[in-house]
Amino acid sequence: MDISVVVPLFNEEESLKELNDWILRVAKSNHFAFEIVYVDDGSTDTSWSVIENLAGEHPEVKGIRFLRNYGKSAALNEGFKMVSGDVVITMDADLQDSPEEIPELFRMVKEEGYDLVSGWKKKRYDPFIKRNTSKFYNRSTRMLSGIKLHDFNCGLKAYRKEVVQSIEVYGEMHRYIPVIAKWEGFRKIGEKVVQHQKRKYGVTKFGLDRFLKGYLDLLTITFTSRFAQRPMHFFGALGSILFLIGFGIAGYLAYTKIFMDVYKMTDRPLFYLGLLAMILGTQLFVAGFLGEMISRNSQNLNKYQIKKYINFKE
């Protein structure tokens, strides 16, 4: 199979039929062997009924339904598990991503050898706050990850199948999939300017809480990409430095007391600074050691319940 199109969604009943017809038209006109995988993230409207009807009309349509809303990362992660295509395309269900971009994204992966191609919504129709918070996150992520992309959070992306089979997306980490892919060793990451459509139906799922979540996620992905498998390298090194600083202060105070008899050690504020540094250093070192033990026994980070499947072979 050439292409798997994965579409995570939450309460998008109005746009699904139009989006499905658009994808079918593009895929068939380019003679792709394809499938469309809709992942209903616990919608409370009639989205699942629409998917059932589409699956009954088109054998290419498949569906996954979560028991409740788990978030976009969980929806993508489950969709990635079920795909069959050599190239996996992800896109949002709100009609703001254009299926017309699929043939070129497919070509860039198959012919130019990219592991991942991310869309860049150079001209956006999002609200002012969303546009500017995205600029902040994209700039920060470029600096911390070294990946030269302009729009990390664009829902329209193309992947080699090996990429989605090698990564796990959890929490709110869908914003930083290129960083996760690079962490797993997929370094040929490209970008394509894509057309951004105005929202036609429904309302945006963007809220101010995403501002804080995005910042914390950026710190998390930066830390985990560097130290998740070796927490001792971070906590142990920092703890050792603090302990040595404290030990040096204690040694200096002991020297002045023994050979110079200037002050009592406990009368000097520097004594308590050195003591604090040694205590904190020891605690950080122990935290690194415990982190090493926990990382070797970590469990699956994605825990969610699937309610229904459509058209997947048992």
CATH number at residue 33: 3.90.550.10
Please tell me the least confidently modeled range out of 36-40, 89-93, 261-265: 261-265
- Note whether 176 and 286 are same-domain residues: no
3-state helix, strand, coil in the chain (%, to 5): 55, 15, 35
Give residues with Cβ within 8 angstroms of 146, minimum separation 6. none
Domain span holding position 285: 231-295
- Note whether 242 and 206 are same-domain residues: no
- Note whether 107 and 243 are same-domain residues: no
Length of the chain: 314
Residue 69: closest CA among 44, 89, 98: 44
Which contacts (CB < 8 Å, 24+ apart) does range 245-249 have? 245/274, 245/277, 245/281, 246/273, 246/274, 246/275, 246/276, 246/277, 246/278, 246/279, 246/280, 246/281, 247/274, 247/278, 248/274, 249/273, 249/274, 249/277
The domain total for the chain is 2
Say if strands 61-66 and 306-310 run parallel, antiparallel, or are unpaired: antiparallel
Query: CA of 297: how far to CAs of 79, 181, 235, 314, in Å?
Result: 26, 23, 19, 30
Backbone angles phi, psi at 38, to 5 degrees: -90, 130
Tell me whether residue 305 is in a domain: no
- Note whether 169 and 290 are same-domain residues: no
Tell me whether residue 273 is in a domain: yes
- Note whether 64 and 25 are same-domain residues: yes
On whether the CB atoms of residues 156 and 119 are closer than 8 A, the answer is yes
Query: Does residue 142 register a pLDDT over 70?
Result: yes
Please tell me the least confidently modeled range out of 42-46, 70-74, 139-143: 139-143
pLDDT tens for each residue of 173-200: 888 899 889 988 899 999 999 988 777 7
What gap in Å lies between CA 238 and CA 288, rounded to an integer? Answer: 9
**How much is the pLDDT for 196?**
83
Residue 149: CB atoms within 10 Å = 21
- Note whether 122 and 162 are same-domain residues: yes
